[in-house]
Amino acid sequence: MTRPMLRIHTKFLSLFVLMLSSMQVSAFEIDGSRWPTGEIEFYVALDGTAASGISWNAAFIAAMNYWNDETSFNFILREQYRDPCLSDGLNSVDFSDNLCGSEFGKNTLAVTVQSFKSAILGGPTISEADIIIDQNKEFNVYDGRLAQSGIQGLDLRRIALHELGHVIGLGHEPSSAAIMAPEISNLDRLQADDIAGAQMLYDGVINCAVNELVLGSFNNALDATDCTVSELLPGSSDTSPIDLYRFALSNPATLSLSMTSSTLDSVLLIADENFQIIGFDNKSIDLCNSSLTQLLQPGTYFLLANTFDTQVKNECGISGGYKIDASMRSGGLNPLGSSASLTGAAINANFNGGITSDGGVSFTNQFVPAASLDVAVRIDIDPQHVGQAGFLVIAAVVDEQILFLNEQGQFVDSAANPGVITRASNKILTAVEESTAIDNLVPESLGISEMQVDFFFGYGLSSSPNELYYHQLPLRLIIAP
């Protein structure tokens, strides 16, 4: 993270010009900015029709659809007129004989004008992008080479493709083998480098390792081997290392986090699935530590463990180990990660779980020893398994010991029967299997004052007794005074 982390939002402009001449160089270029999400509305209402019989509007919309089809970016079409010279927060296109009061360059075909605002993490984000096309040039709509017998004018569709690339956040590609080359050419479709540039901007998470967030305590480190903010959010100059932890919520929840370290200047952030920052703490008031509590609505999120790209405090560096403590309080059960099977077979099942001490009013993961606990589970069975004879499995992992709940309601050590999956119940599987897997468990009554337990739930079919379908993220119970 770059200091200062919270910046004043500002607005400034960038111009991209498509020219008539040609030149060659290499590889896609990112201009240093991207949209906060990979989706925007774009207003198109171009009057007129090309000599080929194709309307200007249809040609421009076709260019938008090419970007939609070939990349993860999504243009939402709005067939209404908006003035591209107005700073109104709306993205639009129009023909004009001037560049919003200035003259077009002699060889300029079209110009993209961008507005930006500062972001909490990474570089400035695009807030508006408009395209102005020089109406004094002769245009047409056609495929193939620019110079063709019997065809006059320049193809507007490939010009629109180029300008929409700037709208997305791509700079000029220093290669003639791309739509994003600075000059119009015989290319009339997106090329591999154009597509790769959009993927780099909006699929940045694929460049970084992503862990599933497990509630409780865990240790990790930030150093030169980690992904950086600039890799996660291309176009940013922030080279600080960052670790990503994904989690999903089915119900509103309050997530409480602390990041502690004796050597690392800790920064905690929570982002949505588009990496828009929802909450953060970079104060490091307490030595090198950071803490954050955030109310979240149902959805997919990322916990980001970060630091700064230059040292800020003498006692805290920009690399080193850290510990995260995570707890969550929710009004209902939440997802337990992706589903899996022992044999690697595809499975379309969903697992949700939670632990409560107040009869289901709220669910969390950390309790005092005297609490009376219920462990609840909901399994949405794979539709192809519904109605079949099957069984349910409940496992508890304590340190390295695996315990199975048997049909008598007792946990038994798996080491007593190696390779055997002990069943909690046998039944005909219904579409939704809901149950209180553990009822009225009082750790104190068992002599437990401090413990960590990871629960796993699964099911199988009687016809395949050695196969088991389960979730990969544990439901973690922490008992502490």
- Structural domains present in the chain: 13-202 (3.40.390.10), 207-330 (2.60.120.380), 334-479 (2.60.40)
CB within 8 Å of 177: residues ≥ 6 apart: 187, 191, 193
Amino acid 431: pLDDT? 97
If residue 57 lies in a helix (H) or strand (E), which one and from where to where?
helix 56-70
- Res. 232 pLDDT band, cuts 50 70 90: confident
Average of per-residue pLDDT across 315-342? 93
- Res. 105 pLDDT band, cuts 50 70 90: confident
Taking the C-alpha atoms of residue 331 and residue 455, their distance in angstroms, rounded to an integer, is 19
Please check the confidence at residue 5 and state whether its pLDDT lies above 80.
Answer: no
Q: pTM for this structure?
A: 0.78
If residue 402 lies in a helix (H) or strand (E), which one and from where to where?
strand 401-405
Query: Which of 471, 465, 470, 466 has the alpha carbon at shortest distance from 390?
Result: 465
Mean pLDDT of the chain: 88
Please check the confidence at residue 285 and state whether its pLDDT lies above 80.
Answer: no
Amino acid 54: pLDDT? 97
Please check the confidence at residue 32 and state whether its pLDDT lies above 80.
Answer: no
* Structural contact between residues 278 and 270, judged by C-beta atoms closer than 8 angstroms: yes
Amino acid 284: pLDDT? 57
Query: Which of 160, 159, 156, 165 has the alpha carbon at shortest distance from 196?
Result: 165
Average of per-residue pLDDT across 305-334? 91
Q: What DSSP string runs through 350-391?
A: EEEEEEESSTTS-BBSEE-TT--EEEEEEEE--GGGTTSEEE
Percent of the chain with pLDDT over 90: 68
Entry field: residues in the chain: 481
CA atoms within 13 A on the CB side of 356: 18
Q: In terms of DSSP H, where are the helices of 171-305?
A: 192-202, 229-232
| Helix (DSSP H) and strand (DSSP E) numbers for the chain | 4, 31
- Res. 433 pLDDT band, cuts 50 70 90: very high
| Residues in a beta bridge with 112 | 16, 131
Query: Would you call 332 helix, strand, or coil by DSSP?
Result: coil
Percent of the chain with pLDDT over 70: 92
Query: Which of 311, 54, 338, 117 has the alpha carbon at shortest distance from 211?
Result: 338
Query: Which of 252, 436, 467, 448 has the alpha carbon at shortest distance from 354?
Result: 436
Q: In terms of DSSP H, where are the helices of 174-216?
A: 192-202
Query: Would you call 346 helix, strand, or coil by DSSP?
Result: coil
- Res. 231 pLDDT band, cuts 50 70 90: confident
CB within 8 Å of 148: residues ≥ 6 apart: 142
- Res. 286 pLDDT band, cuts 50 70 90: low
Least confident span in 43-52, 167-176, 206-215, 351-360: 167-176
Higher pLDDT, 15 or 197: 197
* Structural contact between residues 393 and 423, judged by C-beta atoms closer than 8 angstroms: yes
Buried/exposed 216-238: b ≥16 CB within 10 Å, e otherwise: beeeebbeeebbbbbbbbbbbeb
Amino acid 311: pLDDT? 86
Please check the confidence at residue 15 and state whether its pLDDT lies above 80.
Answer: no
Query: Which of 127, 109, 122, 42 has the alpha carbon at shortest distance from 77?
Result: 42
**pLDDT, tens only, 235-250:** 778 899 999 999 999 9
Amino acid 16: pLDDT? 52
**pLDDT, tens only, 317-326:** 899 999 999 9
Please check the confidence at residue 258 and state whether its pLDDT lies above 50.
Answer: yes
Q: How far apart are the first and last CA of the chain?
A: 36
